Amino acid sequence: MMLLARLRRTDRRLTQRIAACATPGVHRTLSAVEECAESTKLWCGAAVVMAATGGRRGRRAAGAGLAALIVAQLVSNGLCKQLSDRPRPPKEWIPHDEVEDRPESSSFPSGHTAAAAAFTAAVLPTCPPAGFLCAVPAALVAFERVQSGAHYPSDVAAGAAIGLAAAWFVRRGPRSAARWLLP
- Averages of pLDDT over runs of 10 residues in the chain (183 residues) are 87 89 79 84 95 94 95 95 90 76 86 96 95 95 90 96 96 67 58
Q: In this structure, are residues 141 and 152 in contact, taking their beta carbons and an 8 Å threshold?
A: no
Query: Domain 2-181 - what CATH class?
Result: mainly alpha
Q: In this structure, are residues 102 and 150 in contact, taking their beta carbons and an 8 Å threshold?
A: yes
Q: Write the Ramachandran bin of 106: left for phi over 0, alpha for psi from -120 to 50, otherwise beta.
A: beta
**What pLDDT was estimated at residue 177?**
55
What are the domain boundaries of the chain?
2-181
**What pLDDT was estimated at residue 183?**
56
CA-nearest of 117, 112, 139, 133 to 65 is 117
